[in-house]
């Protein structure tokens, strides 16, 4: 196998883009791989990004989507490839991040994703829209991690969800205290309608929270839905159900026995 090649480096934003064969990935200051794609196949997703779609087990396919944080744009790329009608709003404050996703990560230029170049906090404060599916994937540093987990911002996220909506957070569980506080706050704001999902082999922990009790929540229901969703989306939903069962003790949140 050929050695990795660095395609992009910025001392200002501490962003690097690397390539090895057909694979490209993004790193920030900590040098941890944040997102990767296979250029030849948009249907291939990294395990942490696969986990962001686990809420599809609990709710019908969302109609309106909001993404806070772009990363490499791999989730939007995947959704556009799998379901061309799937579109929404993508909020990203960093102009280099948007340019990198387009230049190096095959972000779909002709898609119906509306990219808003602004701070996610301002968007949450000012939007009047309600979304079925909100993805928060911008936990790249302690400052972001702190404000995202503050109750005031969690309440704003809840307010921009539809009655059947779900918000999903991609967290890097590097600080046990910060993670515990975040989980405590989100369980309070969302009345314990939450689910945790670890990603084996990665530091990521995905947490999702529902406005109301989801229509599918028992293990039997999720196991029955998993093969159907697996066929439709090409993702390992059965494995996600098994991981959720392992990560969520009975009575700890939205997942029921």
Tell me, what CATH number does 214's domain have?
3.40.50.150
The verdict on residue 202 lying in a domain is yes
Q: How many domains does the chain have?
A: 1
The verdict on residue 162 lying in a domain is yes
The verdict on residue 156 lying in a domain is yes
pTM for the full model? 0.92
The verdict on residue 106 lying in a domain is yes
The vertex-101 CA angle with 115 and 130, nearest 5°, equals 30
- At 26 the pLDDT is 86
Neighbours of 200 (CB within 10 A): 9
The verdict on residue 228 lying in a domain is yes
Find the DSSP H helices in the chain: 47-51, 74-82, 95-104, 120-126, 142-148, 151-159, 176-189, 219-233, 237-247
Q: Which of the 8 DSSP states describes residue 54? A: G
Enumerate residues 6+ apart whose C-beta is below 8 A from 69. Answer: 91, 92, 120, 135, 136, 137, 138, 139
φ and ψ at 169, to 5 degrees?
-115, 135
Q: Which of the 8 DSSP states describes residue 108? A: -
The vertex-47 CA angle with 168 and 234, nearest 5°, equals 95
The verdict on residue 21 lying in a domain is no
Query: Considering Cα of 29, then 169, then 42, then 131, what sign does the dihedral take?
Result: negative
- At 213 the pLDDT is 97
The verdict on residue 58 lying in a domain is yes
Q: Which two tokens stand for residue 136?
A: 């928060």
Domain that holds residue 210: 42-247
Number of H helices, E strands in the chain: 9, 11
- At 110 the pLDDT is 67
The verdict on residue 145 lying in a domain is yes
**Contact (CB, 8 A) for 80 and 37:** no
Rounded Cα distance between 64 and 156, Å, is 17
Give the chain's residues under pLDDT 50: 141-142
Helix, strand, coil share (%) of the chain residues, nearest 5: 35, 25, 40
- At 142 the pLDDT is 47
């Amino acid at each position: 196998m050929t050695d990795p090649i660095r395609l992009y480096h910025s001392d200002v934003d501490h962003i690097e883009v690397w390539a090895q064969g057909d694979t490209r990935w993004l790193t920030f200051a900590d040098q941890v791989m944040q997102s990767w794609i296979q250029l030849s196949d948009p249907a291939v997703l990294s395990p942490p990004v696969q986990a962001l779609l686990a809420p599809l087990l609990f709710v019908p396919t969302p109609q309106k989507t909001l993404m806070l944080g772009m990363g490499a744009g791999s989730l939007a790329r995947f959704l556009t490839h799998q379901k061309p009608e799937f579109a929404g709003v993508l909020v990203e404050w960093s102009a280099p991040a948007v340019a990198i996703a387009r230049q190096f990560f095959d972000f779909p230029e002709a898609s119906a994703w509306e990219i808003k170049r602004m701070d996610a906090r301002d968007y949450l404060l000012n939007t009047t829209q309600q979304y079925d599916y909100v993805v928060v994937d911008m936990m790249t540093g302690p400052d972001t991690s702190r404000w995202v987990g503050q109750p005031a911002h969690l309440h704003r996220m809840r307010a921009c969800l539809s009655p059947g909506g779900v918000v999903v957070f991609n967290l890097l569980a590097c600080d046990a205290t910060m993670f515990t506080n975040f989980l405590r706050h989100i369980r309070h704001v969302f009345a314990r309608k939450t689910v945790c999902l670890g990603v084996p082999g990665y530091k990521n922990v995905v947490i999702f929270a529902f406005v109301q009790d989801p229509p599918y929540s028992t293990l039997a229901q999720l196991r029955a839905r998993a093969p159907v969703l697996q066929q439709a989306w090409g993702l390992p939903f059965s494995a996600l159900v098994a991981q959720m069962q392992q990560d969520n003790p009975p009575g700890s949140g939205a997942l029921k026995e």
